[in-house]
């Protein structure tokens, strides 16, 4: 299993416009991660324009972190318009198992044919109808425990599912790729999961198939995190360094450091 050899070069030459309907906590973080890696982010959520805007974009990211009813309506409208226009989109079902509202919203969105779903293990288990209550937005399950749930979810929904944690797994229901990059400091910075999802959106926008886009995104984030951890002594410096590392990362460094099997 290898990363598309010119994934970053393609992303940077296309500089895809990535439309995000995401949560308040990470809007700035994921916009900056998208800019760092070479995409052009826009955050547009109003029901008046979300469906119109997505047709201008090369990919859509839908993230339910700080969900409310009117935002959910815009997400559904934008996902529908994205499908109609052939714009690939990725779903991040944040804290899917935590409340009735989230279980319902994430199940409805997952049925709207996302090209990919990126989530932690508890969220995938919740989406699959198993336990997966998690601890707020954090996982209480290992990605190993969610691997089979991810596979059957991918098969049932006809999508690619990426479960991230200490080791990430990406599956389209038959193939499974594992990415063993990253650093524990990623768990001490808010929104790194959301950033992973946004980067999947960036590689989708660059024209990569969903499976390849997910692997490239998770490997890029993981390798960048390793570079950032070498140069920092806490989560503040780590986050700054992560953006710098995403900006400086190239396909050669990615190929040399990625541990994808």
- Pick 40 or 130: Cβ nearer a copy of itself: 40
Contact region for a copy of itself (CB under 8 A) — 62-70, 118-126, 159-167, 197-205? Answer: 62-70
Q: Is 23 in the site for a copy of itself (CB under 8 A)?
A: yes
Q: Is 107 in the site for a copy of itself (CB under 8 A)?
A: no
- Pick 13 or 99: Cβ nearer a copy of itself: 99
Distance of CA 67 to the CA centre of its chain: 17
Q: Is 131 in the site for a copy of itself (CB under 8 A)?
A: no
Quote the least distance from Cβ 98 to a copy of itself, whole Å: 6
Phi and psi dihedrals of 129, rounded to 5?
A: 85, 10
Quote the least distance from Cβ 238 to a copy of itself, whole Å: 8
Instruction: Determine contact, residues 93/129, Cβ cutoff 8 Å.
Output: no
Question: What length does the chain have?
Answer: 261
Contact region for a copy of itself (CB under 8 A) — 53-61, 123-131, 153-161, 251-259? Answer: 53-61
The residue from 5, 108, 188, 252 that contacts a copy of itself (CB under 8 A) is: 188
Partner residues linked to 18 by β-bridges: 41, 59
Tokens of 134: 């998690």
63-82: which residues touch a copy of itself (CB under 8 A)? Answer: 65-70
> What crossing angle do the helices spanning 69-85 and 100-110 adopt, rounded to 10°?
10
Quote the least distance from Cβ 174 to a copy of itself, whole Å: 35
31-50: which residues touch a copy of itself (CB under 8 A)? Answer: 31-32, 35-36, 40-49
- Pick 23 or 178: Cβ nearer a copy of itself: 23
- Pick 32 or 164: Cβ nearer a copy of itself: 32
Q: Is 139 in the site for a copy of itself (CB under 8 A)?
A: no
* Per-residue binder mask for a copy of itself (CB under 8 A), 221-250, x = binder: -----------xxxxxx-xxxxxxx-xx--
Residues in binding contact with a copy of itself, number by CB under 8 A: 64
The residue from 7, 8, 57, 78 that contacts a copy of itself (CB under 8 A) is: 57
Tokens of 170: 């990406």
**CA–CA distance, 65 with 72 (Å, rounded to integer):** 11
What is the contact surface with a copy of itself in residues (CB under 8 A)? 17, 19, 23-29, 31-32, 35-36, 40-49, 52-53, 56-57, 65-70, 95, 98-102, 133, 135-138, 187-191, 232-237, 239-245, 247-248
């Amino acid at each position: 299993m290898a990363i598309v050899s010119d994934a970053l070069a393609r992303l940077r030459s296309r500089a895809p416009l990535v439309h995000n309907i995401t949560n308040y906590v990470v809007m700035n973080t994921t916009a900056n991660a998208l800019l760092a890696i070479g995409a052009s982010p826009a955050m547009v959520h109003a029901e008046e324009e979300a469906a119109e805007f997505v047709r201008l974009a090369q990919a859509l990211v839908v993230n339910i972190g700080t969900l409310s009813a009117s935002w959910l309506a815009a997400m559904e409208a934008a996902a529908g318009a994205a499908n109609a226009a052939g714009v690939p989109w990725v779903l991040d079902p944040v804290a899917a198992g935590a409340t009735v509202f989230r279980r319902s919203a994430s199940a409805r969105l997952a049925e709207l044919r996302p090209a990919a779903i990126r989530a932690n293990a508890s969220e995938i288990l919740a989406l699959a109808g198993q336990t997966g209550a998690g601890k707020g937005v954090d996982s209480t399950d290992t990605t190993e425990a969610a691997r089979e749930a991810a596979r059957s979810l991918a098969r049932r929904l006809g999508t690619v599912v990426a479960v991230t944690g200490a080791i990430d797994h990406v599956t389209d229901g038959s193939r499974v790729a594992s990415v063993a990059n990253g650093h524990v400091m990623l768990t001490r910075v808010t929104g790194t999961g959301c950033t992973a999802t946004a980067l999947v959106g960036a590689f989708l926008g660059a024209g990569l198939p969903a499976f390849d886009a997910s692997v490239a995104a998770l490997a890029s984030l993981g390798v960048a995190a390793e570079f950032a951890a070498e140069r920092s002594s806490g989560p503040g410096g780590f986050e700054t360094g992560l953006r710098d590392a995403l900006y400086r990362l190239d396909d050669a460094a990615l190929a040399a450091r990625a541990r994808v099997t």
